[in-house]
């Protein structure tokens, strides 16, 4: 396994439980991986898979069910309780760094091996019986390791993606977010989407005293260009603090830039290389699909690898892409719809007014159409 994110760690745990020997290779150190804050919303399907395989101890203890989202725009506020819509599903809020910490501990308990601070320099012979990876440890020593199969779980810019001889279908949305973590409680338990002429703003609860915020910003800015005073001012304006209350203040403990870019590969396998998670598809965080796709894909690949290792039957492995790609396409389509809804057109867009009219129409439809709200709920929660 290349990469110790949710994709690689879930897959490794499932393989270890099935008696399949595996090694996870991670270029970052253990402390970095266990503190890396990313996603925080798990879908019902992800939670069910983790629970089924005994990977939900921390999740069951401190995860919080979440069933509401809110859109704020010039037209007013739309509050959706998606538990009451669609299939009645909910998200579970459980920060990714906690899940990753749980998965590492469980993998070690099951006898799995993780090589931290180890860079994968190259992979080769992917269409042979013994593909290999060339590794470099933190001390500079290099070694070549061979295996029966390689799972690429190392992200959109990892070595596994570049080794796949397939060109992705790409959409650069020309949108950048300033991603923030604040040591402060959320305004409410709802995810809040600020649909504002100045740019998108989002509030995502993470824990009782930590909140994730997003602010649309100009591409290419330096994160240091936005001091805390400016950040809170923009959040107040775009989330309409004057009408609905200001977000509770607290120190900004993390900031980074997210460029919204989507990529779809078809297939997501080649020879004995199989891509999982962000390596298989790049998707914007606008609809909380990335980590959930990673977990579900790992759940599809693990039994297929198990069957191939134990019985030599590679039938399910050959169908891996066919099983995953419909889920990926649906997640990408909904994510794209959310991007179009949440972000104003670029100032120099000759069709800007037309885009603004469509955005108002989408919000109006969500407000007035029960059918649209049910469809939204099913797409928002599910895969």
Query: Is-catalytic flag, 270?
Result: no
SS3 14: helix
- Per the residue annotation, which of 82, 94, 149, 193 is the catalytic one? 193
Beta-strand relationship, 210-217 and 169-182? antiparallel
List 6, 131, 205, 285, catalytic entry: 285
The residue annotated as part of the active site, out of 94, 213, 320, 380, is: 380
CA atoms lying within 13 Å on the CB side of residue 73: 18
Nearest to 338 by CA among 177, 189, 132: 177
**137 vs 27: CA distance, rounded Å:** 9
Q: How far apart are CA 92 and CA 59, in angstroms?
A: 8
- The active-site residue out of 131, 149, 214, 289 is 289
Q: Is 193 an annotated catalytic residue?
A: yes
- ω before 20 within 30° of 0 (cis)? no
User: In the annotation, is 94 catalytic?
Assistant: no
Structure tokens at 328: 């990926």
Residues 337-351 as b/e (b if ≥16 CB within 10 A, e otherwise) read ebbebbbbbeeeeee
Contact 288, 91 (CB under 8 A): yes
The set of catalytic residues is 66, 193, 285, 289, 380
């Amino acid at each position: 396994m290349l990469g110790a994110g949710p994709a690689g760690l879930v897959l490794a745990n499932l393989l270890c439980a099935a008696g399949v020997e595996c090694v996870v290779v991670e270029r970052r150190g253990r402390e970095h991986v266990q503190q890396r804050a990313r996603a925080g919303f798990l879908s019902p399907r992800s939670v069910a898979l983790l629970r089924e395989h005994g990977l939900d101890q921390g999740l069951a203890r401190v995860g919080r069910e979440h069933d509401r989202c809110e859109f704020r725009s010039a037209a007013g506020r739309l509050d959706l309780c998606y538990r009451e819509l669609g299939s009645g599903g909910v998200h579970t809020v459980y920060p990714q760094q906690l899940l990753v910490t749980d998965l590492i501990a469980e993998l070690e308990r099951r006898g799995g091996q993780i090589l931290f601070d180890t860079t994968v320099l190259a992979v080769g012979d992917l269409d042979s019986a013994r593909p290999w990876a060339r590794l470099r440890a933190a001390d500079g020593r290099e070694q070549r390791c061979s295996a029966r199969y390689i799972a690429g779980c190392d992200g959109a810019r990892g070595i596994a993606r570049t080794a796949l001889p397939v060109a992705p279908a790409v959409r650069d949305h020309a949108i950048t977010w300033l991603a923030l973590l604040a040591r402060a409680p959320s305004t409410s338990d709802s995810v809040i989407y600020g649909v504002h002429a100045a740019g998108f703003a989002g509030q995502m609860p993470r824990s009782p005293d930590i909140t994730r915020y997003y602010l649309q910003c100009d591409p290419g800015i330096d994160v240091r260009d936005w001091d805390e005073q400016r950040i809170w001012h923009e959040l107040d304006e775009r989330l309409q603090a004057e009408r609905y209350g200001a977000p509770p203040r607290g120190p900004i403990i993390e900031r980074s830039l997210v460029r919204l870019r989507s990529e779809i590969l078809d297939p997501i396998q080649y020879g004995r290389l199989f891509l999982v998670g962000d390596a298989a598809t790049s998707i914007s965080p606008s609809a909380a699909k990335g980590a959930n796709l990673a977990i579900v894909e790992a759940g599809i690949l693990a039994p297929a690898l198990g069957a191939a290792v134990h019985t030599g039957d590679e039938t399910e492995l050959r169908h891996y892409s066919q099983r995953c790609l419909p889920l990926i396409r649906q997640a990408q389509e909904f994510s794209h719809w959310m991007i179009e809804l949440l972000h104003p057109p670029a100032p120099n867009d000759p069709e800007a007014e037309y885009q603004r009219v469509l955005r108002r129409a989408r919000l109006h439809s969500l407000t007035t159409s029960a059918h649209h709200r049910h469809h939204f709920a099913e797409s928002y929660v599910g895969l």
